[in-house]
A = this chain, B = another copy of it.
Amino acid sequence: MNDLNPPKPVTLLDIAKALGISRTTVSNAFNRPDQLSPDRRERILATAKAMGYSGPNPTARLLRTGQVGAIGVVFSESLPYAFSDPVAIAFLQGIASVCEPAKTSLLIVPLHRGGTTLDTVQRAVVDGFIIYSTPDTDAATAQVLQRNLPTVMVDCSPVVGVSSVSIDDRRAARAAAAHLIRLRHTRLGIIAMELRFDQYEGIVDAQRIATATFPHALARLQGYQDAMQEAGLDPRHTPIEERVNREDGGFTATLALLNRTPRPTAILAMSDRLAVGALRAAETLGLNVPQELSIVGFDDIPLASQIRPRLTTVRQPLVEKGAVAARLLLENFDQPIAQVLLTELVLRESSEAVTENGDVIN
């Protein structure tokens, strides 16, 4: 935009020539003020400005120094999706809170899954990578690892020698299901987020579970089923609807679940976004939450405590997850470290006990 007719950028050498001095001195004027007399430096800087010098070329400097001052972030999902997902945003916020004081920039790398090449990863000029929530055996992950830069994987299946940050999804999900069971719900419905990378939406059967590749979606599902088994409920009698992780996914999944006989009295949503969709579906059907339908989410995004009824959910430390990942990367320990963050069931207004006869008590 600015350079209508780029007249060949001015370089350090041009300035040196114009002043009849050496490149080194000009370089020092920019990078090591103490290495030359103030007035000389003054003159050099003035000349540089007059000649329209843009400052030392970052790429060239980089080739010498090797220090980029940026870390790459790779999301499994598309970027527009990531920037619309409160969970991903909170994660980025955590990364940013560590990067900013460290004067480190954040390179958000698109994957462009459809294409053949992953060259955005190969071309990324960064000191290290954070990989967020990629499926098992992912080409992008392999590409990142191949760069041989310091890397931290978040919410991914463990890879030997690579640091990781995660939560115990299975245990957390079990707590959510156990909560509903404790409230005497026996007819549950589950809304699952994507179990693998294939756009499938619909009912989840054993076959589908067996071929799941998104580790934390699978773990949450297993956690739900753990709780049912412990309570003597047969998980196979609990319908599971898989949807893309958006509010509208939760909406249609809920309609499908509530259409069944016997109708579920409670819904386990694998994310708060799905749970919010479930809430809207109940509203549309004229069902009171929690009196006629209990809903439990997962994540505890900011909206969970802002909507009415406030959402009962599993809190995971979203912002902290990003901060920990960034710290792990920047501090670059000798040994890979696996951090597991704690979760907590947050009881709010969207879940309530059920009576013996299937109605609800308070």
Contacts and interface: CB of A to CB of B under 8 A. Distances in A.
Interface in A142-171: 145-152, 161-163
A54 to B, nearest CB: 4
B55 A146 contact: yes
Interface centre among A59, A66, A93 (most CB of B within 10 A): A59
Given A63-B59, A307-B306, A125 B80 contact: no
Nearest to A111: B100
A1 interface: yes
A103 interface: yes
Given A145-B2, A146-B55, A83 B78 contact: no
Nearest to A280: B306
A68 interface: yes
A345 to B, nearest CB: 24
A105 interface: yes
Number of copies: 2
Interface residues of A, number: 74
Given A62-B59, A161-B2, A104 B93 contact: no
A333 interface: yes
B70 A93 contact: no
A232 interface: no
Nearest to A332: B1
A289 to B, nearest CB: 14
B112 A101 contact: yes
B79 A83 contact: no
A229 interface: no
Interface string A113-137: 0010001101111001000000000
Contacts of A119: 103
A125 B69 CA distance: 10
Interface centre among A52, A96, A128, A308 (most CB of B within 10 A): A96
Given A1-B329, A84-B93, A105 B100 contact: no
Given A70-B125, A100-B112, 9 more contacts: A2-B151, A3-B148, A58-B124, A59-B125, A62-B125, A70-B124, A84-B93, A100-B110, A105-B108
Interface of A: 1-4, 9, 52, 54-56, 58-63, 66, 68-70, 72, 78-80, 82-84, 89-90, 92-93, 96-97, 99-101, 103-110, 112, 115, 119-120, 122-125, 128, 145-152, 161-163, 303, 306-308, 328-329, 332-336
13 contacts: A1-B151, A2-B162, A54-B146, A62-B125, A63-B63, A69-B120, A79-B99, A103-B120, A105-B120, A125-B125, A303-B303, A307-B307, A308-B308
